[in-house]
């Protein structure tokens, strides 16, 4: 259906990207045996990253905002790896300034991992509204491992400290 989209809205950066799901799926056609398994944490392959790059290659990112393309790449990797090719609107807001050394990329990866794992059904959350929910340690470990894979896209060889602090 050409009217079904995946949208990423980074509100604080005034960046909103929308792709028809047909285009998203077509960008990943070259991957062999792509299997969505939210509980099987896998690193982002070079082939997968090339598919992501092909998808966002024509997008225009504000030059003043360093690392936006990498953040979007990590978000797409986490979303597609955990939930597959399902339409959605992902809205990201943050009080952490980018590039300040405060762990904003780790916070993005942890929040994305947790939200998408919950959306996939891999994390079973209570449906209580307006209440802080806590995950048991094994669930947090899954969130942390996915977030670390996202951090690797953004930073190459992160220590894992920022995503661990954000998760636990």
- Residues involved in catalysis: 162
Phi/psi of residue 93, each to 5°? -125, 155
Determine the Cα–Cα distance for residues 5 and 18; give it in Å rounded to an integer: 6
Q: What is the dihedral of CA 13, 18, 23, 25, to 10 degrees?
A: 70
Q: Which residue has the tokens 């598919």?
A: 51
- Residues pairing with 6 in the sheet: 19, 88
Kindly state the greatest CA–CA separation across the chain.
43
Structure token pair of residue 4 = 């079904």
Asked if 4 contacts 20 with a C-beta cutoff of 8 angstroms, the reply is yes
């Amino acid at each position: 259906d050409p009217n079904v989209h995946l949208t990423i809205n980074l509100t604080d950066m005034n960046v909103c990207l929308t792709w028809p799901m047909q285009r998203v799926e077509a960008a990943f056609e070259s991957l062999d045996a792509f299997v969505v398994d939210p509980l099987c944490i896998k690193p982002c392959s070079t082939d997968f990253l090339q598919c992501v790059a092909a998808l966002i290659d024509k997008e225009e990112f504000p030059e003043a905002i360093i690392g936006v393309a990498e953040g979007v790449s990590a978000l797409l990797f986490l979303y597609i790896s955990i939930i597959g090719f399902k339409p959605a609107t992902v809205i990201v807001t943050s009080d952490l300034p980018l590039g300040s050394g405060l762990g904003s990329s780790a916070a993005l990866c942890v929040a994305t991992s947790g939200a998408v794992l919950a959306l996939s059904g891999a994390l079973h959350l209570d449906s209580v509204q307006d209440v802080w929910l806590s995950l048991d340690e094994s669930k947090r470990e899954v969130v942390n491992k996915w977030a670390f894979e996202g951090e690797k896209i953004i930073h190459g060889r992160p220590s894992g400290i920022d995503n661990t602090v954000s998760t636990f």
